[in-house]
Amino acid sequence: MELYSQRLIFWFLILSTGPCETASDSEVMLKMDEALLTVQNQMSYGLHVLYTSDYCYKCLYQPLASMAAGPGNVSVVVSTPFTLTLKVTSVNGSSTLCSHPSLSYSFEEAGHYSLWVRPGDTNLEFNVTCFISMDQSPNDTYLPLLVAALVLALLAFLWLCVPLLLRCTCMSKLRSLMCCNRSRYSMEREEANTEACVNQDRPKSSRLKSLDTFRGFSLTIMVFVNYGGGGYWFFQHAPWNGLTVADLVMPWFVFIIGTSVMLALNSMRRKGVTRLQLLGKLTWRTVVLLLIGFCFINYSPRDGLLSWSWLRIPGVLQRLGFTYFVLSLMQTFSPYREIPPKEIRWWSPVQDVVLYWPEWIFIMLLEVVWLCVSFLLPVPNCPTGYLGAGGIGDNGLYPNCTGGAAAYIDRWLLGDNIYWHPTCKAMYRTTEPFDPEGVLGTINSIVLGFIGMQAGKIFLFFRKKNWNIMIHFTIWTIILGILAAILSKCTRDEGFIPVNKNLWSLSYVACMGCMSFALLGVIYFVVDIKGWWGGQPFIYPGTNSIFVYVGHSLLGFYFPFSWEMRFQDSHWEQLFQSLWGTALWIFIAYLFYRKHFFLKI
């Protein structure tokens, strides 16, 4: 998944870092998420124009343009995903002529703008009036997304309506009359009725369709995000703190792993599988996941021959595999085996928690370790407990402290074989490596997986009691949501522990656990309880997740999944390419589903 994350916020690299040469509007070829800003200097002296992004937390202003003395103008390209705040100073930098809030502006794609710097109403030397005007109307950035949403909604409507129409008695009779073969129609009806009776007598599968649907939904978003997400910033990973769509996917997978571990191990125990056999199976699967992640997903064929100098040891599948191993090991050696218990006691409503108190103690200890290391471990030349991005953030006070203790532990254990292109690199101008799948974050990955195991316990302990299941899911959603709100103070950067996917902070785990319980509960109600939806099309990749994940990671740069784009001035082609590649993998998963081919480890 992180193979594509270096695309995040690289739009900011198009901003000038020094003096800009004069250029006319016709000489500038704007690309996606770019706008043209012309600085119109009507003062008799030179000036500097600086900028900072409102998404960048307490970041230092960066150079955008410089102008010599006398009236003149200079054009520069600026990025449009986030609001920019400009500041105009004199050449020597001793005087700020104009600054926030009058120069905080959200530029739009392909728009042409002018920053006017004019003398003020008085005759004072540094009395200046600054304002921004629009010279050429921008594109509608979100029009491609709206069209895509309408097309997908139409396809979903047809998906639901066409089978209903075909099953109508009147349509069947009309089809029979058109074929002029009533006897064949009667035989078809008789065969259909016979097959329906056979299907009713056949025992129903105990497999949760909602879990496969949730897994497939997460995987579909992951494929779409990894194929570029149409170039929209909210389909890329957040620069540091905060949440985007891309930040939701991997935690959902971890949650699903925990739920699946609980259901799968319980099923194996009921079949009489011994503890030794369980150990062999979970060890084999963990090794395979680690090898796939280490040997195939960490680099692509475009990187050329593997070099030990840049080989990355951590990775997405490595973290998922290790999380799976710890959760499975914990459940394999759990002293409690009978689910649900036959004896009813006063604590039966919370038996899914009480009966597993040793596991809860273990998880609490893990979280205490994460908190102590994150906030108490001394990091050389950095403040203790620092969770920021470093670089130009936090007023530039801690440029080499990216990630605090988490990065320090990774460098101590793994050396330089970690991720050198973190999502904060472009916006925060960081120079230090930081691995989002590092050692310290894996602790909270296990915690989130254990929260997913709690969902599996609820399914098992309250089997065939759908109302109890929905109540417990709602309670956990509320508890975890309140915890996330308290830790983050409902803000992006000002909380006790900000929501941060790079660090896998405690507030991030609580927030993702809340969302996972809510989403799985809704899907379970719609798919398994009411039967209003069969989970299509997400159930197809959900039952073949390993194949789709590895396949799209290895073949993502090859035709027909992607191609070299010709129209890079808007989101149209990139959004089409991302949707096309995602749809192809759903179709491939559908074909395998029909052929009953499921890749398992």
Q: Pick the residue with more confidence: 543 or 306? A: 543
Mean pLDDT of 422-442: 90
Indicate whether 569 belongs to any domain.
yes
Same structural domain, 132 and 171: no
Q: Domain count of the chain?
A: 3
Residue 394's pLDDT is 92
Indicate whether 78 belongs to any domain.
yes
Residue 284's pLDDT is 92
- 39 forms beta bridges with 74, 115
Same structural domain, 411 and 455: yes
Is residue 601 predicted with pLDDT exceeding 90? no
Is residue 420 predicted with pLDDT exceeding 50? yes
Is residue 372 predicted with pLDDT exceeding 90? yes
Is residue 235 predicted with pLDDT exceeding 90? yes
Residue 1's pLDDT is 46
Same structural domain, 497 and 528: yes
Per residue in 140-185, pLDDT (tens digit) is 889 999 999 999 999 888 887 776 666 665 555 555 655 555 444 4
Residue 173's pLDDT is 57
Q: Is 100 a catalytic residue?
A: no
Structure-token match 């997304």, residue found: 145
Same structural domain, 397 and 543: yes
Yes or no: say if 298 and 315 are a contact pair by the CB < 8 Å rule: yes
Q: How far is residue 161's CA from residue 156's CA, in Å, rounded to a whole number? A: 9
Q: How far is residue 243's CA from residue 500's CA, in Å, rounded to a whole number? A: 7
106 exposure class (CB count in 10 Å sphere: 0-12, 13-18, 19+): exposed
Same structural domain, 479 and 589: yes
Residue 344's pLDDT is 60
Q: Which of 105, 136, 167 is the last residue of a domain?
A: 136
Residues sharing a CB contact under 8 Å with residue 143, sequence separation 6 or more, in sequence order = none
Same structural domain, 131 and 153: no
- pLDDT band with cut points at 50, 70 and 90 for residue 312: confident
Indicate whether 523 belongs to any domain.
yes
Same structural domain, 523 and 549: yes
Same structural domain, 514 and 377: yes
Indicate whether 195 belongs to any domain.
no
Residue 167's pLDDT is 64
Same structural domain, 305 and 226: yes
**Which domain does 117 fall in, by range?**
2-136
- pLDDT > 90 in the chain, percent: 46
Yes or no: say if 49 and 7 are a contact pair by the CB < 8 Å rule: no
Residue 347's pLDDT is 61
Indicate whether 289 belongs to any domain.
yes
**C-alpha dist (Å) from residue 325 to 219, 330, 356, 416, 437:** 21, 8, 18, 26, 16
As a whole number, the mean pLDDT across the chain is 83
Residue 10's pLDDT is 36
Indicate whether 197 belongs to any domain.
no
Per residue in 238-288, pLDDT (tens digit) is 999 999 999 999 999 999 999 999 998 888 888 888 888 889 999 999 999
Same structural domain, 443 and 298: yes
Mean pLDDT of 60-76: 86
Per residue in 526-582, pLDDT (tens digit) is 999 988 888 889 999 999 999 999 888 888 878 888 888 888 788 899 999 999 999
Which tokens is 369 given? 């370790």
Q: How far is residue 245's CA from residue 420's CA, in Å, rounded to a whole number? A: 23
Q: How far is residue 7's CA from residue 32's CA, in Å, rounded to a whole number? A: 13
Indicate whether 119 belongs to any domain.
yes
Is residue 214 predicted with pLDDT exceeding 70? yes
Residue 379's pLDDT is 92
- pLDDT band with cut points at 50, 70 and 90 for residue 14: very low
Record the pTM.
Answer: 0.87
Residue 4's pLDDT is 40
Same structural domain, 516 and 547: yes
Yes or no: say if 533 and 217 are a contact pair by the CB < 8 Å rule: no
What is the number of helices (H) and of strands (E) in the chain?
17, 9
> Dihedral, CA atoms, 183, 188, 190, 193, nearest 10 degrees?
-160
Catalytic residue among 237, 472, 552, 571: 237
Same structural domain, 466 and 361: yes
Q: How far is residue 558's CA from residue 7's CA, in Å, rounded to a whole number? A: 18
**C-alpha dist (Å) from residue 456 to 77, 103, 354:** 52, 52, 15
Candidate from 33-42, 245-254, 268-277, 445-454 with smallest mean pLDDT: 268-277
- pLDDT band with cut points at 50, 70 and 90 for residue 187: very low
